[in-house]
Amino acid sequence: MFHSPRITGSQEQTRAALKAMSAYFIATDQARPRQERQRLALEWLAAVRRLRAPR
């Protein structure tokens, strides 16, 4: 029987940070409005801060 590996909290945080970073760069590449890019950048920064927070 094959068991898929469990995703840890740290892995989930890393995945969220990468997703936020990707959304920001896609919005920048597509020249989306500044306000939207700024919101995405703040989401990305918040995700990175959660990664760096002590556990």
Residues 1-55 pLDDT 10s = 565 677 788 889 999 999 999 999 999 999 999 999 999 999 999 999 988 877 6
Q: Are 17 and 44 in contact (CB under 8 A)?
A: yes
- In this structure, the number of other CB atoms found within 10 A of the CB of residue 36 comes to 14
Domain residues of the chain, as ranges?
A: 9-52
What is the predicted pLDDT for the residue at 3? 59
What is the predicted pLDDT for the residue at 20? 94
What is the predicted pLDDT for the residue at 48? 92
What is the predicted pLDDT for the residue at 2? 61
* Plot region of 8 (φ>0 → left; ψ -120 to 50 → alpha; else → beta): beta
What is the predicted pLDDT for the residue at 49? 92
